[in-house]
Amino acid sequence: MDSDDHIDIRGLVRDHGARQLVIARLNAPADWQGELRTALVAHREPVTIFSKNDFHLFLQSFAIFFTATMMFLI
């Protein structure tokens, strides 16, 4: 292999990174800072032990268990 056949990998990687950056900038929303703030606020909300859906599922499960227990005892 001659030195003329050398492929510049660094240049190819640099060009690919530049293309990816342009694509990311084109796909970003106009108000990306606002979107980021909204996502961070939603992520920071305190998590309770029982959310609304979990509590609803617990009540349904308890009702089924209670009904089955009463049927067994009768």
Q: What is the pTM of this model?
A: 0.37
pLDDT, position 42: 84
What does the domain layout of the chain look like in residue ranges? 11-73
What are the 10-residue block averages of pLDDT along the chain, 74 residues in total?
74 94 86 86 74 81 94 88
Alpha-carbon span 30 to 46, nearest angstrom: 29
